[in-house]
């Protein structure tokens, strides 16, 4: 049986016993376990049905030095530039929605990193996550608290819908304020930064701070891409039809009921432009009243979940107009992955 609690102490007790607990973070809910306890980590993979090739992010307490004191990461081959960039990023964006992939020490179990020589680290900003980390005293390995390949949870009820009966406890900390997962970057030994997953920290914030470009993961020669960034991910059970732009040709939805998930309310002109291809009924689900990317990111997974549970036959969304800035990268990325099944 899976229970929901608001008691941090209760969650800490279960974590200490070696069982996983779903915890709130500012991005999405995570399914947390002691990062040093391989049996607890194995339970996380099992509950999510996550393949063992997809590594977990290790979450650290706000005052932890484990990212640089030699306990979890081995920075011995880092150049001065690499160290300087790492320190600047940690200083500017932790706690927050940034995950940094660094060379690991033997102390980090291979199960956590799927055998990779690098570990992904993040300091979450959610005060409840930080209270849990402060009380347990160990780092928490935590993937998003959904079954593998499904929509990430941004409320405790979403976790229940995903993992009921598979985990003992969900710690409720309210809805997540960012709504999309952290931005994942890797720092190479020579200081080059590559972006492995767009997320809750806008990429411009990183480039503005460091004054350097971000390499796409595929071009980072000595780094494998994030194994978890599979093309098909965040999959709703209903097909999601993603249009490239508002002016894209309208597919034939004549006999269908459609749920429309857009960043801002759709205009009357655009709805009219479907002409004879229009569905029999529309359910409108704007993610923000004015297209605000922060609000849209916060609502994205809830919106997908709600439309998926509604009586529509097909979900429809439209990619934002380029150039993309801020959280639009992350929103577009999640929509693209969710739409692969159409
Ligand atoms: O915001 C977040 O990042 C949330 C919260 C709970 O912190 N966590 C999250 O975890 O989204 P997950 O497991 O759903 O996604 C982690 C991503 C995956 O794409 C995974 O492949 C990548 O991070 N990753 C983890 N460890 C890695 C490593 N050692 N090297 C490369 N990529 C790694
Ligand atoms: Mg995930």
* Among the bound ligands, the one closest to the CA of 196: 1
d(CA 179, CA 323): 22
Q: What is the pLDDT of residue 220?
A: 45
How far, in Å, from the CA of 298 to the mean position of ligand 2? 16
Least confident of 118-127, 176-185, 229-238: 229-238
What mean pLDDT comes out for the span 14-40?
Answer: 98
Res 114 pLDDT > 50: yes
Q: Is the pLDDT of residue 236 over 90?
A: no
Does the beta carbon of 154 sit less than 6 angstroms from any atom of ligand 1? no
pLDDT surpasses 50 at 221: no
Per DSSP, the chain holds a count of helices (H) and strands (E) of: 10, 15
Mean pLDDT of the chain: 94
pLDDT at 50: 95
Which tokens in the block code for residue 57?
């992010």
3-5, strands of its sheet edge to edge: 3-5, 169-171, 21-23, 30-34, 140-141, 57-59, 118-122, 98-103, 183-187, 193-197, 215-216
pLDDT tens digits along 267-288: 999 999 999 999 999 999 999 9
Please tell me whether the peptide bond between 30 and the residue prior to it is cis, using omega within 30 degrees of 0.
no
- Rounded to whole angstroms, the Cα distance separating 160 from 143 reads 15
6 Cα to the center of ligand 2, angstroms: 23
DSSP state at residue 323: S
What local confidence, expressed as pLDDT, does residue 223 receive?
45
Residue 118 has pLDDT above 70, yes or no: yes
Q: State which of 32, 99, 150, 334 you would mutate to test the pocket of ligand 1, scoring each by most atoms of that ligand within 8 A of its C-beta.
A: 99
Q: Is 306 buried (19+), middle (13-18) or exposed (0-12) by CB count in 10 A?
A: middle
Give the 3-state DSSP-derived string for 139-154, with helices as H, strands as E and coil as C: CEECCECCCCCCCCCC
Taking a C-beta distance cutoff of 8 angstroms, is the pair 140, 35 a contact? Answer: yes
Q: What's the pLDDT tens digit per position in 194-217?
A: 999 999 999 999 999 999 999 887
Give the pLDDT of residue 226. 58
């Amino acid at each position: 049986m899976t229970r929901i609690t608001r008691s941090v102490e209760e969650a800490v007790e279960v974590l200490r016993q070696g069982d996983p607990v779903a915890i709130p973070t500012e991005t999405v809910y995570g399914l947390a376990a002691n990062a040093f306890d391989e049996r607890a980590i194995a339970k996380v993979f099992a509950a999510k049905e996550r393949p063992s090739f997809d590594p977990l992010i290790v979450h650290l307490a706000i005052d932890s030095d484990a990212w640089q004191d030699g306990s979890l990461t081995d920075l011995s081959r880092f150049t001065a530039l690499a160290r300087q960039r790492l320190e600047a990023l940690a200083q500017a964006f932790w706690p927050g929605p940034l995950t940094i992939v660094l060379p690991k020490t033997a102390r980090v179990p291979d199960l956590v990193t799927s055998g990779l020589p690098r570990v992904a680290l993040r300091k979450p900003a959610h005060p409840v996550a930080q209270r849990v980390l402060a009380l347990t005293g160990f780092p928490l390995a935590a993937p998003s608290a959904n079954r593998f390949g499904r929509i990430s949870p941004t409320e405790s009820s979403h976790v229940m819908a995903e993992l009921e009966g598979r985990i003992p406890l969900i710690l409720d900390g309210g809805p997540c304020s960012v709504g999309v997962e952290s931005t994942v970057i890797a720092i190479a030994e020579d200081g080059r930064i590559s972006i492995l997953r767009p997320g809750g920290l806008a990429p411009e914030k990183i480039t503005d701070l460091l004054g350097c470009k971000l390499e796409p993961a595929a071009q980072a020669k000595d780094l494998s891409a994030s194994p978890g960034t599979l093309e098909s991910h965040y999959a709703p059970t209903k097909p999601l039809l993603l249009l490239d732009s508002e002016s894209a040709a309208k597919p034939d939805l004549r006999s269908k009921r459609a749920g429309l998930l857009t960043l801002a309310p759709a205009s009357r002109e655009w709805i009219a432009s479907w002409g004879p291809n229009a569905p029999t009924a529309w359910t409108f689900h704007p993610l923000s009243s004015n297209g605000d990317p922060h609000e849209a990111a916060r609502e994205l997974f809830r919106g997908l979940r709600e439309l998926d549970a509604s009586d529509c036959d097909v979900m429809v969304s439209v990619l934002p107009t380029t150039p993309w800035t801020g959280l639009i990268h992350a929103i577009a990325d999640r929509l693209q992955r969710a739409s692969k099944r159409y």
